[in-house]
C-alpha cells in the first residue's frame, strides 16, 4: 500500500457473500461486492477513510442531498488480465472528471490518492469479485453526497465520498434503438450537462420511460434552442461513421466528456482514421443515411462500452443501420479496447492501472 495523505483503515468482512453470486449469469448493477469505501469531509478537510463491509447507511431524513441533489458519481471498470491480476481502466480520467463535477456542484475536491489509492485498495480486497467472462467486469461506482442535516438551501459543509463495486455483465445485450428527442431538453449552455450529477439522470427518467413505451431503448438528446444538433445518448456519447470519416459532437458544457469517448477517438486517430469533433445536425444524419453514407452508429460509455445502434428515429423517419456483420469500425474498435482492458495486448498508452 503506498503512503497516503490520509489514514485508511480496513475492516474485512467475516461473512463473504461471494459464493452467492452466479458468475455465469451476471447482469448489470444487481450485485455488490463484500466491501465499500467511506470517507467523510467536515471542518473543511477530508477525515479518515475506511474500507468496511458493504452495508446499508443510516442517515437523517433531513440530509441535504436527499432534498436538493448535491450528489455526483462516476463509473469505472476493473478487469482481470490473463494472470488474474486486476486492471483498472483509466481511473485518473474519472478522478479528474469527478472533481470537475464536484466544482460545478459546490462540493469539495476529492484528493487523487483518496480516489485512486482508495479504489485500488478496495478492488484489491475484492478482486475475487471481478468476473472474467466475455463482456463482464467489476463496475466501480465512486460517488459523493452532501450530508448536512439542514433543509435550508445553501451549499453543504459536510460530504460523504464512497466507492462501491459491482460484478457486471453488459449494459445493453443487443443493438439499441434510439429515439431522437425534441420534446424534452437534457442540457443548456451554462447548466450541468458536462457533469455526472445525479440530477442529470433523474431528469431523464420520464422522457426515457415515454420512449420505452414506444418501443425504443434510449434517447438521443438534442440542443435546447432549436432541437437541431444532436448531443449525447442518455448513458453514452455518440459516434457516426459517415463515408470514411467518423464524426461525434464536439465537447461543450452540455456534453459529458466520456472516458470511453476519448479512448475511441485516440484508437481511431492512431489507425489513421479521420475523426471530426463538431456540431452535427439531425438533417445531416438523415441526408447521410438517405445517400447511403451513414454506415455505422454507436454509443460509447463505461457501462455500455461500445454499443451498436440498430436504428435512429426522428419523428416518422426511421434510419435503420446496416446489419452489424457489415460494420468495420465499431466491431474492431470494441475488440481492440477489450484486448487493452483485459491485458491481452500491450497497453502502450498507460491506460490500465493495477490494483
Ligand atoms: C457509466 O457509463 O458508467 C455511467 O455512469 C452511465 C450509467 C450507468 C449511468
The predicted-structure confidence for 118-158, as pLDDT tens digits, reads as follows 999 999 999 999 999 989 999 999 999 999 999 999 999 99
* Protein residue with its CA nearest to atom 9 in ligand 1: 235
Per-residue pLDDT at 6: 74
Given the C-alpha cell 489513421, which residue does it identify? 272
Topology adopted by domain 8-170: D-amino Acid Aminotransferase; Chain A, domain 1 (3.30.470)
Say if strands 230-233 and 218-222 run parallel, antiparallel, or are unpaired.
antiparallel
Q: What's the pLDDT band for 1 if we cut at 50, 70, 90? A: low
Lowest-confidence pick of 6-10, 172-176, 214-218, 248-252: 6-10
Averaged over 189-207, what is the pLDDT?
Answer: 97
User: pLDDT tens digits for 246-268?
Assistant: 999 999 999 999 999 999 999 99
The answer to whether residue 221 scores a pLDDT higher than 90 is yes
**Separation of CA 293 and ligand 1 centre (Å):** 30
Angle between helix 259-270 and helix 91-104 axes, rounded to 10 deg: 130
DSSP 116: I
Indicate the SS3 state at residue 246: strand
Residues with CB under 6 A from ligand 1: 75, 201, 235, 301-304
Q: Residue 338: is it exposed, middle or buried by C-beta count within 10 angstroms (0-12/13-18/19+)?
A: middle
Per-residue pLDDT at 329: 97
**Separation of CA 220 and ligand 1 centre (Å):** 15
Answer for the pair 179, 214: CB distance below 8 angstroms, yes or no. yes
Beta bridge partners of 197: 72
Per-residue pLDDT at 246: 98
**Separation of CA 14 and ligand 1 centre (Å):** 31
**Separation of CA 3 and ligand 1 centre (Å):** 31
Q: How far apart are CA 95 and CA 45, in angstroms?
A: 18
Averaged over 215-237, what is the pLDDT?
Answer: 96
Per-residue pLDDT at 234: 85
Q: Residue 27: is it exposed, middle or buried by C-beta count within 10 angstroms (0-12/13-18/19+)?
A: middle
Ligand 1 atom at minimal distance to the Cα of residue 303: 2
User: pLDDT tens digits for 76-114?
Assistant: 999 999 999 999 999 999 999 999 999 999 999 999 999
Averaged over 235-255, what is the pLDDT?
Answer: 97
Answer for the pair 98, 142: CB distance below 8 angstroms, yes or no. yes
What's the chain's average pLDDT? 96
Q: How far apart are the two ends of the chain, measured CA to CA in Å?
A: 10
Q: Each residue of 227-264: b (16+ CB within 10 Å) or e?
A: bebbbbbbbbbbbbbbeeebbbbeeeebbbbbbbbebb
The answer to whether residue 2 scores a pLDDT higher than 80 is no
Per-residue pLDDT at 235: 87
What CATH number belongs to 176-341?
3.20.10.10
Q: What's the pLDDT band for 3 if we cut at 50, 70, 90? A: low
Give the predicted TM-score (pTM) of the model.
Answer: 0.96
Ligand 1 atom at minimal distance to the Cα of residue 260: 2
Per-residue pLDDT at 48: 87
Answer for the pair 178, 218: CB distance below 8 angstroms, yes or no. yes
User: pLDDT tens digits for 170-181?
Assistant: 899 899 999 999
**Separation of CA 234 and ligand 1 centre (Å):** 9
Angle between helix 329-341 and helix 259-270 axes, rounded to 10 deg: 110
Residue ranges covered by each domain of the chain: 8-170, 176-341
Averaged over 212-218, what is the pLDDT?
Answer: 97
* Protein residue with its CA nearest to atom 5 in ligand 1: 75
Averaged over 275-293, what is the pLDDT?
Answer: 97
Q: Residue 68: is it exposed, middle or buried by C-beta count within 10 angstroms (0-12/13-18/19+)?
A: middle
Amino acid at each position: 500500500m503506498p503512503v497516503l495523505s490520509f489514514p485508511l483503515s480496513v475492516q474485512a468482512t467475516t461473512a463473504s457473500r461471494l459464493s452467492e453470486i452466479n458468475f455465469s449469469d451476471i447482469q448489470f448493477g444487481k450485485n455488490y461486492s463484500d466491501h465499500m469505501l467511506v470517507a467523510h469531509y467536515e471542518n473543511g478537510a477530508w477525515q479518515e477513510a475506511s474500507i468496511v463491509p458493504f452495508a446499508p447507511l443510516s442517515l437523517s431524513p433531513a440530509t441535504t442531498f436527499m432534498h436538493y441533489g448535491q450528489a455526483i458519481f462516476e463509473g469505472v471498470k476493473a478487469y482481470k488480465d490473463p494472470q488474474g491480476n486486476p486492471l483498472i481502466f483509466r481511473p485518473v480520467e474519472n478522478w479528474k472528471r469527478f472533481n470537475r463535477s464536484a466544482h460545478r456542484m459546490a462540493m469539495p475536491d476529492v484528493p487523487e490518492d483518496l480516489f485512486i489509492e482508495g479504489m485500488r485498495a478496495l478492488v484489491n480486497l475484492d478482486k475475487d469479485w471481478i468476473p472474467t467472462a466475455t463482456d463482464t467486469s467489476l463496475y466501480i461506482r465512486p460517488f459523493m453526497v452532501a450530508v448536512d442535516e439542514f433543509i435550508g438551501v445553501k451549499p453543504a459543509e459536510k460530504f460523504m465520498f464512497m466507492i462501491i463495486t459491482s460484478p457486471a455483465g453488459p449494459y445493453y445485450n443487443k443493438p439499441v434503438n434510439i429515439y431522437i428527442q425534441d420534446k424534452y431538453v437534457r442540457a443548456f449552455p451554462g447548466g450541468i450537462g458536462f457533469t455526472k450529477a445525479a440530477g442529470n439522470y433523474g431528469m431523464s427518467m420520464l422522457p426515457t420511460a415515454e420512449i420505452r413505451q414506444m418501443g425504443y431503448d434510449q434517447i438521443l438528446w438534442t440542443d435546447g434552442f432549436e432541437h437541431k444538433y444532436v448531443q449525447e445518448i442518455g448513458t453514452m456519447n455518440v459516434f457516426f461513421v459517415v463515408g470514411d470519416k467518423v464524426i461525434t459532437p464536439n465537447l461543450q458544457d452540455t456534453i459529458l466528456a466520456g472516458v470511453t469517448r476519448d479512448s475511441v477517438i485516440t484508437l481511431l486517430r492512431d489507425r489513421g482514421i479521420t475523426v471530426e469533433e463538431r456540431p452535427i445536425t439531425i438533417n445531416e444524419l438523415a441526408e447521410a443515411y438517405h445517400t447511403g453514407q451513414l454506415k455505422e452508429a454507436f454509443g460509447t460509455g463505461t457501462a455500455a462500452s461500445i454499443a451498436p445502434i440498430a436504428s435512429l428515429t426522428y419523428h416518422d423517419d426511421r434510419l435503420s443501420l446496416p446489419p452489424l456483420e457489415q460494420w468495420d469500425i465499431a466491431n474492431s474498435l470494441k475488440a481492440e479496447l477489450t484486448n487493452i482492458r483485459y491485458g491481452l495486448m500491450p497497453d502502450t498508452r498507460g491506460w490500465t492501472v493495477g490494483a
